[in-house]
Amino acid sequence: MPCVRISTIAHHDSREIEWSILDRLTAFLRKLSPANKFHLVALVAAGSGPVRRLGRWLAFTAITEENAIYRDVYGEVPPLPSILNALTPTLAQNGGSQAIFALHKDTDFVDLKFFVEILGLALTDIDSYVKIDCALSPGSGGGHETSRSVLELVRHTLEYMHGRIVDTQAADLNKTRTKAALHDIYSRITYQRENALKRSAKQKNLKTFFNKP
C-alpha cells in the first residue's frame, strides 16, 4: 500500500516534515541492496503531491549517493546537473568501475536495471524541468530553448548509454531489460518535454494576444 499523504496544513511546515523524513530515509537507504533501494523508492514515489516529491528526492539520493540533502536545496525537483554528473561515467569508454552507471566488462546489469528504474522515479516531473530550462535560457521566448538544455543532455546521455549496451539478438535477458528501461525513460522525457514546450508556447501566444493594445 503506497504512502499517499503528508499533512499540508501549512506549506512551510509540510516542506520541513518532508525534509526531515527524507533525511531519515536517506540514512536507511544507504544500507540497502540496489533491489531493495528500488522497492523503497517506488513505495514512496507511488504517493501523490508532497509524497511523490519526497519520492523524487529519495530517488535522487540513491543515484547520486548523496549522504544528505540541505534544507535550503530541497524543492519541487532534484537538481538536474547532479543527475547528469552521476551519468557522466557512461560517456567514458573506461568509466570508473565504482560509479553506479559506468559500463565496463564487469557491469552487473541486474543492479544497473534497478538504478535505471530509480533514475526514472527521480525524473517524474518533466514539466518543472522544462520551466526551469526556459527561464534560464536567454531569449527562450517563454517556450523555446535556444541551446541544448541540461534535460536534453540527460536524455541524450541515456540514449547513448542504451546504444553502448551490446545485446546481440536479445541474448542476455538482464541487458535486454536494462536497455528497455533506458528506452522507456528517454522516450518519456522526449515526449513530455516536447509537450511541455508546446503548452508553454501556446500560453505565451495567448498572453501576447490578450495584452495587445
Identify each DSSP E strand in 57-185 by its residue range: none
DSSP letter at 91? G
The percentage of the chain sitting over the pLDDT mark of 70, rounded to a whole number, equals 78
- On whether the CB atoms of residues 6 and 50 are closer than 8 A, the answer is yes
Q: Taking the model in full, what pTM does it have?
A: 0.83
The pLDDT value given to residue 135: 78
pLDDT value, residue 145: 47
Q: Check residue 208 and give its pLDDT.
A: 52
- CA distance linking residue 7 with residue 11, whole number of Å: 9
Residue 140: per-residue pLDDT: 47
Q: Judge whether residue 209 has pLDDT over 50.
A: no
d(Cα 76, Cα 88) in Å, to the nearest integer? 24
Hunting for cell 568501475 — which residue is that? 97
Angle between helices 126-136 and 150-164 (to 10 degrees): 120
Tell me: the pLDDT tens digits for 126-178? Answer: 999 998 888 776 554 444 444 578 999 999 999 999 999 988 877 899 999 99
CA distance 68 to 54: 13
